[in-house]
Chains A and B, each alone.
Chain A
Amino acid sequence: AQSVTQPDIHITVSEGASLELRCNYSYGATPYLFWYVQSPGQGLQLLLKYFSGDTLVQGIKGFEAEFKRSQSSFNLRKPSVHWSDAAEYFCAVGPLMDSSYKLIFGSGTRLLVRP
């Protein structure tokens, strides 16, 4: 069965420190992978996506993610966290048809930022 696992429910980092959020997936074919961020009372905003090609993907707000097929992982990283990055982060995987999106989401990781 297709699934996404985000093993960390909460992560706390100090402002200015580096960040890595983990994501592991189970999917039978070449996956399409996404990271979304959700601030309180807000919808989901796409940070970055991987379809094919270079396994290191750059996104908005200084985020990047690396696809590692051998580890079935797509971890999100940021070299220096800002207080405004505090939010919930979701990893998602397609079963992506050519025509449309249908995403499977992980349960999320809540990021807390210490001043």
Chain B
Amino acid sequence: DAGVTQSPTHLIKTRGQQVTLRCSPKSGHDTVSWYQQALGQGPQFIFQYYEEEERQRGNFPDRFSGHQFPNYSSELNVNALLLGDSALYLCASSLWGQTSLDTQYFGPGTRLTVL
């Protein structure tokens, strides 16, 4: 049973570029959340997708957008990259409506470096 997978593992971009990160949830999960973890910090919630719609959003600018596909996989897009966007981006999956019974699983993350 595959857990949460993310691609790519590492990515280097320059300021002003755009980037797309991908996530496949754990088998059986239908909800995907994205977190940004800056160096030396805890993860910060970006947004969450369920039924192909953004359900919750953290305090991130509109440059951060996402998408969920019918197979529950998800993409995180960041436009007009800034140096401060350099971070580990974590994807987490869970089962909608089962928070007290199930667990949220995290992927290994994508390390984004903006030069």
Contacts and interface: CB of A to CB of B under 8 A. Distances in A.
27 contacts: A36-B106, A42-B108, A43-B4, A43-B90, A43-B108, A44-B43, A44-B90, A46-B104, A49-B103, A90-B43, A97-B99, A98-B100, A99-B55, A99-B99, A100-B33, A100-B55, A100-B56, A100-B99, A101-B33, A101-B99, A102-B45, A103-B45, A103-B104, A104-B45, A105-B43, A107-B41, A108-B42
Interface in B65-115: 90, 92, 94, 96-97, 99-100, 103-109
Contacts of B106: 36, 43-45
**Can you list the 10 inter-chain pairs with the closest CB atoms, starting with the nearest?**
A105-B42, A43-B106, A44-B106, A43-B108, A101-B104, A107-B42, A105-B43, A99-B97, A43-B107, A102-B56
B48 interface: yes
Interface size class of B (residues with CB under 8 A): 20 to 34
Interface of B: 4, 31, 33, 35, 40-45, 48, 50, 55-56, 58, 90, 92, 94, 96-97, 99-100, 103-109
Interface of A: 4, 32, 36, 41-46, 49, 51, 90, 92, 94, 96-108
A104 B106 CA distance: 15
Contacts of B40: 107-108
B53 to A, nearest CB: 12
A99 B41 contact: no
A51 B55 contact: no
Contacts, number: 73
Contact of A106 (B42, B50, B104): B42
Contacts of B99: 32, 94, 96-101
B33 A46 contact: no
Contacts of B35: 105
A101 B4 CA distance: 16
Contacts of B105: 46
A88 to B, nearest CB: 9
A46 B103 contact: yes
B94 A105 contact: no
